[in-house]
Amino acid sequence: MHSLGKALFLFAVFLLFSACTDDQPCEEATANRLRIGFYIAGQETETIAVVNSVSVYALDETARYLIYDNQNNVSVIELPLNPLEDHCAFVLSFGESRDTLWFQYAREEHLISIECGFTLFFDISEVKYTTHFLEALVKNNSYVTNSFDEHIKVYFPDPGLIIN
């Protein structure tokens, strides 16, 4: 009789906890990407640049990871920041021209929900870049979250490689 009581108690506890959980799937984005918009430098009004071809790869200390492979008609790219480090680098290739972008940031854990779990937000503190092809880079919004904000604006000097 004593074991029957324990079994009923455990069954009641199981029902109680299963009633508290929500089996809804996670519908929110958990991977937050850095968004970079392309623009033509020296224009009176801000003019979006659409690049004919761009390749982007992430630089790691031991490897390169291809993110975009000769993508056509690109005006915005989204790049994954390294969740294990407080810095990362990317190479942007426009035909024969290449530029490197380095990012320094703080990582912040953020609870989305019980169903979705945690994600990382990034607070960009520093950006460095080369200017082989790029003319300028402006930090538009330094806080990378699950919103669709544009974080970086890259300006190109040569409209010859760009479709307007």
> Could you list the mean pLDDT of each consecutive 10-residue stretch along the chain, which spans 164 residues?
52 48 63 94 90 91 85 95 94 93 96 87 96 93 90 84 48
Question: In whole angstroms, how far apart are CA 15 and each of 1, 12, 86, 135, 142?
Answer: 21, 5, 44, 63, 46
Residue 55 CA to residue 67 CA, distance in Å, equals: 7
Query: What does the pLDDT read at residue 73?
Result: 93
The pLDDT value recorded for residue 115 is: 82
Residue-level pLDDT at 114: 84
How far apart are the C-alpha atoms of 75 and 132, rounded to whole Å? 19
Is the pTM above the cut of 0.75?
yes
Other Cβ atoms closer than 10 A to 41: 15
Quick check: helix, strand or coil at residue 134? coil
Local structure of 83: helix, strand or coil: coil
At residue 88, the pLDDT reads 95
DSSP state of 161: G
**pLDDT in the model for residue 82:** 93
